[in-house]
């Protein structure tokens, strides 16, 4: 149990300095298989220094605006972010602790399975912090953004390239005055999108040439057509329908509905020919299933 905690503690820490590792290769991003059961979590800022509130908010917004199905919110309950003087603490600027499938105080020391049930983080006030990028102090926002990434189950990265060093989830802080990790890089964004996708693939509907769409097997030239399908669902709050000509997107609609018939239009580009494929996706932020019985022109 203790060995697992120490291993997780070390991989959840933003360290001072730079470690040179031989034969280290470029790693785009690394994520855990553990997830939150929800698509948002509240950060308890009641014990957080008031002068640092805006900095914490900016770090949360960076993840909130990454295009993933996830939101951090600030409040007086929920998962704690603390500022404590932990002395040198083996060189750690801050650390995150994530509890999985347990409500006990020691849940961070063992993580048998999903889902994540709790998380907290500590910023070590033994070190000098800055919210304005002062050259002789550590950047608070960069560090908070990194630790929130651990709450989301993004792992530390240890690569040698300059690009690795710019990643928010790079495992070592590059010294005082460095503010570049405030902003997520593409690989950080891809990681959170992988963990918290907006749309989940549900099913591919019938093609035009099987008789379900009035027997048509091609659709030549420009034109707009109304299409309907009968869809039932449980819990999903929106459906995305793509009409594809091989791999080419023709049109996209995201209608909200409660049940029953769904109507939408598809438009074909000029000189576009070939078979049409309809693919359904649903917003899984609420959960539930969707079933469809094929499309038809009306």
Model pLDDT, residue 131: 94
pLDDT band at 147; cut points 50, 70, 90: confident
Identify the top-confidence range among 28-42, 137-151, 172-186: 137-151
pLDDT above 70 covers a percentage of the chain that reads 42
Which pLDDT score is estimated for 220? 47
pLDDT at 107: 32
Q: Quick one: pLDDT at residue 278? A: 54
Instruction: Mean pLDDT check: name the lowest of 23-27, 105-109, 157-161, 288-292.
Output: 105-109
pLDDT at 63: 95
Residues 125-144 have a mean pLDDT of 90
- pLDDT band with cut points at 50, 70 and 90 for residue 47: confident
Would you place residue 170 in the very low, low, confident or very high pLDDT band (cuts 50, 70, 90)? Answer: confident
Give 60's pLDDT tier (boundaries 50, 70, 90): very high
At 64-112, the pLDDT tens digits run 998 887 899 988 877 877 776 565 444 455 666 665 444 433 333 334 4
Span 179-190, mean pLDDT? 90
> Is pLDDT at 234 greater than 70 in this prediction?
no
- Residue 160 pLDDT level (bands cut at 50, 70, 90): low
* Confidence (pLDDT) at 243: 57
Residue 93, pLDDT score: 59
pTM summary value: 0.58
- Measured over all CA atoms, what is the biggest interatomic distance in the chain, rounded to whole angstroms? 74
Mean pLDDT over residues 209-223, rounded? 44
Highest mean pLDDT among 51-60, 71-80, 235-244: 51-60
Of 266 and 118, which is predicted with more confidence?
118
Domains of the chain: 2-195 (3.40.390.10), 199-297 (2.60.40.4070)
């Amino acid at each position: 149990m203790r060995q697992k905690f120490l291993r997780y503690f070390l991989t959840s820490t933003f360290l001072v300095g730079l470690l040179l590792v031989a034969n280290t290769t470029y790693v785009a991003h690394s994520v855990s298989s553990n997830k939150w059961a929800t698509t948002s979590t509240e950060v308890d800022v009641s014990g957080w220094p008031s002068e640092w509130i805006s900095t914490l908010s900016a770090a949360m917004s960076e993840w909130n605006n990454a295009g993933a199905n996830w939101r951090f919110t600030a409040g007086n309950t929920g998962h704690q972010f603390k500022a404590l003087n932990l002395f040198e603490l083996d060189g750690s600027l801050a650390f995150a602790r994530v509890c999985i499938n347990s409500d006990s105080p020691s849940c961070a020391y063992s993580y048998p399975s999903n889902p994540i049930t709790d998380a907290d983080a500590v910023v070590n006030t033994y070190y000098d912090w800055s919210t304005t990028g002062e050259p002789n102090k550590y950047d608070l926002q960069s560090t908070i953004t990194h630790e929130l990434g651990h709450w989301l189950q993004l792992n530390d990265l240890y690569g040698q390239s300059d690009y690795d060093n710019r990643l928010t989830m790079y495992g070592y802080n590059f010294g005082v005055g460095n503010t570049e990790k405030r902003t997520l890089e593409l690989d950080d964004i891809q990681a959170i999108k992988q963990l918290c996708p907006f749309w989940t693939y549900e099913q591919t509907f019938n093609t035009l040439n099987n008789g379900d769409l009035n027997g048509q097997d091609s659709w030549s030239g420009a034109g707009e057509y109304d299409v309907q399908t009968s869809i039932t669902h449980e819990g999903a709050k929106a459906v995305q329908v793509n009409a594809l000509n091989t791999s080419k997107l023709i049109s996209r609609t995201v209608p909200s509905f409660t049940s029953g018939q769904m109507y939408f239009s598809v438009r074909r580009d000029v000189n576009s020919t070939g078979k049409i494929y309809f693919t359904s996706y649903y917003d899984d932020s609420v959960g539930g299933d969707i079933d469809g019985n094929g499309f038809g022109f009306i």
